[in-house]
Amino acid sequence: MAKKGIFSKLSMNIQRSDDYAKSTLPTNRWELFWDTLKGNFGKILLTNIIMLVLFAPLIFLILLNFAGYSTMGQSNQFNAGTGPLGYPAPPNMMGLQEMVVLQTDITYLKFLPLVMLFAGLALSGGAYIIRNLVWGEGVFVANDFLKGIKKNYIVVTASLLIYSVLFLFIMILKDYAVLLSVTMPKLRWLFIVSQVLLYVFLALITIMVIYMVLMGVTYKLKFGALIKNAFIFAISLLPSNLIMLAVSALPYVFLFFGTFLMSIGFLIIILLGIAFTVLVWTVYGHWVFDKYININLPKENRNRGVYDKQKRVNEKEVDKYKAQKKVVSDLTSRPIKPIDDDIVIEELPTNFSRADLQRLSDQKENMRKDHDKYVSEHINDERYVAIRQQVEEDSPDDETERLLEMTRLELEGKKANKPKKKKSNKKGKR
């Protein structure tokens, strides 16, 4: 009797067969991203915590820079008293706030290359682990993190140092553009355009350094080739790169909202923030590499982690294949005499003579003759006759024909390896 109720729904489910297991494998990059995130959540969480610890100097510098805006702003008399009872107002307050921002950025951001030395440790180890997880390789977080630092620290840190210098230069130019747009209102439009161009250039070099880190972890390239390839990918795939840049920045969006959402944002960053960004760019970046770099490599070195989509199994074809295999298996198993005790082969003693060898040879010959006699008596049994008829209907292949011919020749007492030759009638050619 079939069970009914909740327990039957729990128990009567899809069996985890081979086809079902294959159907759960990722067949595209979107599935690969979620499969890596769900299947390795604990390892990604631990990797993110290690990276966050090494990013602590950079995070501290960013917070210190924001705090500097407030500290240096309070030291300037923006709200000084005016009038007969107050202090005299400065002759010109225009651009004072923008000047404070410029001085603060110069004061704190000049230490950016120094903290990038620690960020290089985080990215060289973390990107190596995320790459291996995406490729479906086994990962031991602590061991592989150190291995990634050993292999990739120089190239990753060099990329980050160049990025930090360019970032500092762009931020100072941006602050000057903001200051001049206030102090020179007639040319305000020019400085706004320059700010937009600076932000575009900042996005471009950010994308470039991401590609440099990904390629540095994956390939052994000269640093010049690394910069060249990163520039080509950043320019040629700019629309999709900007989309991925926005997607990878999703965990940090909550920081710009209210207190509650900001708390959620900090929690997400602590758990997955940096590792999420690295995972998004690793999956996307390796799609780019497979499309443009790995195109000439063997198939096993392309699309790692992504599997071919499994076609639905045709049950009728499977049954037909099994039936054919059964026919061939039964056909190739000729009649074999069952094991009995009527013929015995004695074992040679430790010290044997020529007579012992001759006796052993006679026993083997008797066994062979006995087996041939058994085959000749049972070759026309109903089972083998039915198989031969079925083989004739199914037009057997060359291998089956060869086995049938071997059986026939053995029954006739002829050697199978010598084909039967037709005798030429020389008298008839006179």
Digit-coded pLDDT (tens) for 89-140: 554 556 677 787 788 888 888 899 999 999 999 999 999 999 999 888 888 8
One domain, residues 283 and 332: no
Cα–Cα nearest to 277, from 116, 66, 55, 65: 55
Number of domains forming the structure of the chain: 2
Q: How many CB atoms lie within 10 A of CB 198?
A: 17
Cα–Cα nearest to 203, from 261, 242, 173, 254: 242
One domain, residues 225 and 274: yes
pLDDT digits (tens, 9 = 90+) for 173-188: 988 888 888 888 888 8
Task: Pick the range with the lowest mean pLDDT from 289-293, 350-354, 420-424.
Answer: 420-424
Structure confidence at residue 128 (pLDDT): 93
pLDDT at 292 over 60: yes
In a domain, 120, yes or no: yes
Euclidean distance between CA atoms 298 and 18, whole angstroms: 26
Domain end marker among 244, 274, 301: 301
Euclidean distance between CA atoms 393 and 331, whole angstroms: 14
Euclidean distance between CA atoms 196 and 285, whole angstroms: 27
Euclidean distance between CA atoms 166 and 160, whole angstroms: 10
pTM above 0.75, yes or no: no
If phi > 0 it is left, if psi is from -120 to 50 it is alpha, else beta; for residue 83 that is: left
pLDDT digits (tens, 9 = 90+) for 305-336: 777 665 555 556 556 655 555 544 444 446 66
In contact, 372 and 410? CB cutoff 8 Å: yes
Euclidean distance between CA atoms 316 and 126, whole angstroms: 49
Q: Which amino acid type is present at position 102? A: L
In a domain, 149, yes or no: yes
In a domain, 398, yes or no: yes
Euclidean distance between CA atoms 113 and 160, whole angstroms: 8
One domain, residues 238 and 374: no
Structure confidence at residue 7 (pLDDT): 41
In a domain, 253, yes or no: yes
Euclidean distance between CA atoms 170 and 168, whole angstroms: 6
One domain, residues 222 and 281: yes
* Domain housing 182: 25-76+94-301
Structure confidence at residue 11 (pLDDT): 40
If phi > 0 it is left, if psi is from -120 to 50 it is alpha, else beta; for residue 6 that is: alpha
Structure confidence at residue 302 (pLDDT): 78
pLDDT at 69 over 50: yes
One domain, residues 285 and 324: no
One domain, residues 297 and 329: no
Going from the C-alpha of 102 to that of each of 65, 157, 170, the distances in angstroms are 11, 27, 12
One domain, residues 141 and 255: yes
In a domain, 427, yes or no: no
Structure confidence at residue 199 (pLDDT): 92
Per-residue pLDDT averaged across 237-241, rounded? Answer: 91
> DSSP labels for 255-284?
GGS-HHHHHHHHHHIIIIIHHHHHHHHHHH
Structure confidence at residue 361 (pLDDT): 82
Domain end marker among 274, 301, 328: 301
Euclidean distance between CA atoms 368 and 181, whole angstroms: 107
Euclidean distance between CA atoms 119 and 149, whole angstroms: 11
Domain end marker among 258, 273, 301: 301
One domain, residues 104 and 217: yes
One domain, residues 271 and 325: no
Strand (E) or helix (H) holding 319: helix 315-332
pLDDT digits (tens, 9 = 90+) for 335-372: 667 766 566 677 777 677 777 778 878 878 888 887 77
One domain, residues 295 and 331: no
In contact, 164 and 136? CB cutoff 8 Å: no
How many helices and strands (H and E) does the chain possess?
17, 0
Per-residue pLDDT averaged across 160-182, rounded? Answer: 90
In a domain, 33, yes or no: yes
In a domain, 17, yes or no: no
In contact, 113 and 140? CB cutoff 8 Å: no
